Each structure stands twice: as C-alpha cells, then as structure tokens.
Structure 1
Amino acid sequence: MSNTDPNHFDVAVVGSGILGLAHAYAAVKRGLRVAVFERTNTPLGASIRNFGMGLVTGQPPGIMLDLARESRELWLYLAARANFSAREAGTLLFARTAAEHDVLQEFMIVRARQHEYRVSLLQGEKLEALYNGRFRHHRSALHGTEDLQLYSREAMPALVAYLHSQGVHFRFNTLVHGAADGRLSTTAGEFRAERVIVCSGHDYLTLFAERLQAMNLKQCRLQMLRLKTEDALPLTHAVLTGLSCTHYGAFSDLPTARAVHAEIEETAPLLNKHGIHLLVSPTPYQELIVGDSHHYGTDSPPFNSEEVDNLMLGLVEHTLATRVKVVERWQGVYGSKGPGPFSALAIDDKTTAVLMHTGIGMSVGLGLGERVMKALLEGDALPSGNPAAAPLPTTALA
C-alpha cells in the first residue's frame, strides 16, 4: 500500500501485549504499514507480569505444541535483533514423590516418543550431578531442552523498540473505544485500516462486549514473587515440580496424573484450593520469579493472601534447598476459561479479535500471530484452539 495518510494503515493492532506485538511483527515483516494502539504508556498487562517462560515441554500435542515450537524460533530470531535475553538452558521438572515420578516415566515412554518432545529423565548419578547435589532430595527430574526463559519486563519494551525501528507506528496512551469495518474511534481521533486486529487481553467490555459476553469469559488472578536466595545459587534452568503435572496439558491427561492430583488433595489440599503449583524462573540478575496461584472470576480483586504467598515460599525453599528473601510482590492477571486455549474471531470483514484463554501467551503468542496474519492475508480459515484437539491447560503466565 502506497498510502501515506497518517491516519490510514494496512493493519491496525489494538493492544501491545505479546499477542498484539506478534501480529504487528507478522504484518510489518510482510511490508505492510502497521500501527499499534495501547491505552497505557507501555505494556503493563499479563505480558510483563509473568514468568517469561517460552514453555514447549508443557504444551499438549496438537496445535499448542506446534505453536510453542514456532514461537520458540521466532523468540530466538527476535532476541538476537532486539537485544533482549532469551536463555536456552531449558526447564527442570522435579518429581518429589513416587506418584510424580510415575507421571514423568509415563510421559517419557509414551508421549515424548510419540510427539518428539526434546526431553531427558535425570535419575541417580545424573540427578546427583545437578548443581553439586543440591537436588538430591528429589526422585528424578525431567529436563526439557526446548524451553526458553525471557525476562518479560525487559523483553517487551525491547520488542516495542525493535518494531518501531522496523516501521511500526505506536500510539501509546490511546484508548480504542470503537472498532468496526476498518474504522477505529480512539481518544486521539479517528483512524482507518484495511485490517484491524484486536488483542485486548482480559478487557471484555470496551470492544465487542456483546459478542464476548456470550462466551462467558473469566479472568485469572495470580500471586507472584521476586526473590533472592540466602546462599549462592547460580540457577540457569527454570524449575517446576510434579505439581505442574496436574496443570499442563502435556501431562494432565495421562492416567498416572490422577494419582498426583489425589496425593495433593490428601496431603496438601490448600494447594488445590488456591490452584498453586510451583514455577521458578531465574532472571538475568541472579533473582528468581516465583509463583503461582490461580483465582478465577469476572474481576481481579486487589487483595493478596499471605497464606498463598507462604505456601509458595515453602514450596520454593524445599525445592531449591535454600532460604529465600522476598524482593517484590505483584499480581498477574490474564483472560481464562474460554472455549479452548485461544480464540480467533471474525468480527466483520475487516476486524478480527484474538484472545488467549490461558496464561501461556509468551509460549505460543508469536506463532499464533504469524498464523492469524497469514490466514487473513491469504483468505484461509483462522486458526482454532479446538478443545478436543488441545486440552485446556490451567497454568500460569508463562
């Protein structure tokens, strides 16, 4: 398009979270004139409040695993050009009990072979060798080598700066309060675009409220922590435990996972009550981002529970065999409880809404943006998060 009208674009994206930036990148690399509209001064939603995990290992077979693998390659490509950290050490998922170990064994024997997950199961001497024996009190560890760690609060602004350098126009502090048929009504005036893609996170009221209300969507609120360890722990892997086997779709439908869920209910029912499973993501600054809990509703109340934080701190100190000190606390929030892990909705001939219904936008968002943009430009069907093909994970802001 040769049009240089400052208020007319090939593609207008609403929202500068990872989904919005993914669509902006997919469009600008195809030579299109792109604008991104964001109500705040910088991305402040789910995409910077998370663990920064580009998690491949936890995704269920099917479209979510494919999207995570596609996103991984895009993250590595962008990190090299936008100068942000994308570490490739992978994840360690520790089995603390026999039931958790049984899930890892079944996963290795059945699912990992069938779907070519790049993983290994560490036991005995290999487990003992990890971090000078620090994790010897666990039974085994699943090492997922495809998983990335991104420091979101730096990666997202760096990605914005890179896209700006590639020609994307950013309109921050601009609320879009109407979008239809290629026209956007905003607090900065009227704009037009050949295609409008709305990635408005868990805001279900500002745009398309009637359409989204019928989907009965929810918000998920999480309690998050940033920690320092009391003794030196140069952790380079992200860490999970067998608790995650009941949350992530790669494991949660395996027959052995039922015993883990029953074990949690019997020995630590508060973990199930608060939807707690442990995620530990080391930052580039020798600190740890730790969580998380899951509370679902139509809104996200601002009040944190000290009981929840204490449960998570107990889990991390046992898992890492070290005392920790809290540096920072915050709430994560994301859209959840939709008809599958994501929705790509045709609102009208020029308008598409793309929503995540789980906390794995960092893991799959770049791949999803690429697929949506390709489908729109080529006239193909929009990608679908079919629940039958992709079990819905109820996991964290990865």
Structure 2
Amino acid sequence: MTTTPHTDVAIIGAGILGLSHAHAFARRGLRVTVFERSGTPVGASIRNFGMVLVTGQPPGAMHALAQASREIWLGWARDAGLHMRRSGSLMFARSSAQAHVMEAFAETRAREAGYDAAMVSRAALNDLYGGRFSKHHAALHGRADLQVFSREAVPGLIDYLRRAHGVDFRFGTMVRGIDNGVLDTTAGEWRAEHVVICAGHDYLSLLAPELAAIEPRVCRLQMLRVRPAQPFALDHAVLTGLSCLHYGAFSDLPEAAALHEEVAAQEPALLEHGIHLLASPTPAGDLIIGDSHDYGDDPSPFNAASVDDMLLTLAESTLGGKLDVIERWQGVYGARTGTSDAPFSVLRASPAVTGVFMHSGVGMSVGPALGERVVSHLLDGAALPKL
C-alpha cells in the first residue's frame, strides 16, 4: 500500500515570497516542502533590480515591513553568503521640481517617520564618483537601502534553506488542486497541515474565484542589462526624481503635484509608459536599468523599441556616459485594478490554505518580513499588517 507523502507545510512557488514563508516556517522547526512548477525560479524574483528599497515605501505598515525585511536580508547575506551592496541608494534630481520633492521629504517625512535618508551636500555631490553626477540639481541618499543580484541571490537562498533548514524543494512539480490539505501534484498526492500559495501573477491555477474577486492584473516592465563604455565602480543603486511620482514615500507630498505637471508638460511619454529610471550595479560591473510599466490581463510578449530607447537615453544622461546593451528582458509582477491600491493580499481560502500575493513591484523590499508576519498570524494568531 502506497503512503501519501506528508509535510507540515507546503509552499507553492519558489519566488522571494515563497522562500520568505519557507524560512519563517522552517526556523520554527516545521518540515517545509516547496513546490515550484518550473525547473528553477524564472519569475518576478529573478527579473528585477535586486533593490531592497526601504526609502521608497510609504510611511506606516509598508515602511515597517521594509525595515524588518532589511534585517532579514542582512541575516541571509551573512548566513548564505549572498553578494550584497550596503552603500544605499542615490536619487538624483534632474530638475528643480524633482529637487523640491526630495528636499520636502528630507525635511518633513524622513524626520517624522524615521527614514534613514538625507540630502547630499552640494560639495559631496560635486565630488561623487569623480564629479560624474555634478550636473544634477540635488541628490538624496537612502542610507538604509540594500541591493542584491537577484539571479544569484534567489538560487543562493534556496541552497541555504535546503542546507541549513532542511527545506525540501520539488522543482518541475505543478500543484493542480488542493482539497482539505491534500495537494494534487504532477508528482502525485501530498498531505500538509498548512498550505501557503505564493504563485506570483498566476491567477488561474489555484484560488481562482478568490483572486477574481480582487480584480488582479499583471504589470510588465522592459528591462536592460548594460555595460558602460567607460566603466566606473558604481556601489549605489541609482534612481532619478521621477521615482518620486512612483513610490509612496514621496508621491503624496504637495511638491509631487508640481513635479507631475512638469513631466506631463515636458516629457509626457515618460508618464504614458510609466518610466522612472532605476539602475543597479551587478557583481560583474554591468548595470541593470529600467523600467517601464504596462498593465493588463496578460503580459504582452512584445517589447517596444521606443521604450528601450527612452530608458537608454535617460540612463546615459543620468549616469554620464554611453551604455552598451548586452541583455534585454521583461520584468513582470502582479498588480490590481484601480479599485484598490493595496500592495498585497492575504487570502484565507480555508483553515489550512492561505494565498499571499503581491500587487506591486516591491516583493524584494517587503517580502521577507511579510512572510514572517503571515506565519506568525497562522501559527500564533498575531495580527496581519494594517495597510
């Protein structure tokens, strides 16, 4: 007689959200099995900039989650040997309107809400990287921000969880259905006391009715890996003041309205395509740059050359030099319609089955702490973050 394999916890999805939940359960001594349909993670968690962006999160629950996630990432970097940059982020103002938003943030919200960020002095900006960024109006240093190289960090974290915590990974295994803690998979049935679904932007395979009710969407992003024609040792993640229109730490400040009007009048295509430059250095000295935002029910497979050109032009202007493209790809993450701006959902389908889904591109920034909070909720009855 064949016995159905049993695990204390089944995690569906080996992206950063699934791995965060696996870590939180495993460190409490539970047996954890992670099911991933692909042979290796290929979704949002390896296609991104690797930014653990604390500075950009809106005040309150999301900022607190990012701060807590930062500490978890530092522990993972130490214990798993992950490559990590700790110099923080630099946000450069290309106009006085961008500078005004950053200055207002530094003078008010950063102090009131406890952000570890400050304006860079004019003298320091002029000297930064040999004067490469001196043409900018101002710069904000997000000192708490971290950066990893996602396509190496995620596999490294998987290896660490397997080695140090005994997490069992079942790659190439799709979970087709769940009934009372019994998982129907392409490798046979499994039983689990807790099932946590972290399936990214897959809204049809599992929990389809619950997900349909929250009206999910998909955001696709055009991404580039570039090599400076004249290499320089960038050790910070780079943003421009355009990010003040995208991230909640800045976007509701009164000064952001004037910035929006400026961009709408002078560079409307940037708003149309949701472009706000991000640049992350890789361990090899290349840069990951992007991104654009295109929302829909499915991620279109077709990239627009004009969007890549806008990104390159903006990056070369910001970074001060020619960039050669060596890779192009699509980023992708789950989003929601305009009926809600909630950045994530925790769906209790049954006492044994919980779905956790991100609806924004900040999974690397808040996912580790969100996993801890959800596991504390499931095992100890602790409250979930209030948004």
TM-score class, shorter-chain normalisation, is: over 0.9
3-state secondary structure, aligned to 2:367: helix
Q: Which residue of 1 aligns with 2:84?
A: 86
Distance (Å, rounded) in 2 between the aligned partners of 1:196 and 1:325: 45
Aligned pairs for 1:1-398 within 5 A: 7-165=5-163, 166-337=165-336, 339=340, 340-384=342-386, 386=387
Q: Percent identity?
A: 55
Distance (Å, rounded) in 2 between the aligned partners of 1:29 and 1:122: 40
**Equivalent pairs, count:** 381
3-state secondary structure, aligned to 2:312: helix
Distance (Å, rounded) in 2 between the aligned partners of 1:214 and 1:121: 43
Distance (Å, rounded) in 2 between the aligned partners of 1:375 and 1:97: 45
1:110 partner letter: T
Deviation, 1:214, is 1.5
1:376–1:382 Cα contact (<8 Å) kept: no
Give CA-to-partner distance per residue, 1:329-373, whole Å, 9 cap, x none. 000000002640001111101000000000000000000000000
1:195 partner letter: H
Unaligned runs of 5+ in 2: none
Distance (Å, rounded) in 1 between the aligned partners of 2:348 and 2:245: 33
Unaligned runs of 5+ in 1: 387-398
Deviation, 1:80, is 1.1
2:231–2:285 Cα contact (<8 Å) kept: no
Distance (Å, rounded) in 1 between the aligned partners of 2:103 and 2:168: 49
Deviation, 1:6, is 7.2
The Cα RMSD (Å) is 1.0
Distance (Å, rounded) in 1 between the aligned partners of 2:114 and 2:60: 12
1:300 partner letter: P
Deviation, 1:86, is 1.5
1:167 partner letter: G
3-state secondary structure, aligned to 1:243: helix
| Runs of at least 4 residues off by over 2 Å | 379-384
1:12–1:193 Cα contact (<8 Å) kept: yes
1:53–1:150 Cα contact (<8 Å) kept: yes
Give CA-to-partner distance per residue, 1:104-157, whole Å, 9 cap, x none. 111011100101111120132111111111111101100001000110000000
Deviation, 1:181, is 2.1
Distance (Å, rounded) in 2 between the aligned partners of 1:212 and 1:11: 22
Normalising by structure 1, we get a TM-score of 0.94
3-state secondary structure, aligned to 1:252: coil
Distance (Å, rounded) in 2 between the aligned partners of 1:382 and 1:258: 32
Distance (Å, rounded) in 1 between the aligned partners of 2:149 and 2:5: 34
1:250 partner letter: A
3-state secondary structure, aligned to 1:164: helix
2:373–2:382 Cα contact (<8 Å) kept: no
Distance (Å, rounded) in 2 between the aligned partners of 1:44 and 1:180: 27
Q: Compared with structure 1, are the counterparts of its residues 6 and 86 closer, same or farther at alpha carbon in structure 2 (3 Å cutoff)?
A: farther
Distance (Å, rounded) in 1 between the aligned partners of 2:119 and 2:226: 28
Distance (Å, rounded) in 1 between the aligned partners of 2:5 and 2:84: 35
1:122 partner letter: V
Distance (Å, rounded) in 2 between the aligned partners of 1:341 and 1:182: 28
3-state secondary structure, aligned to 2:23: helix
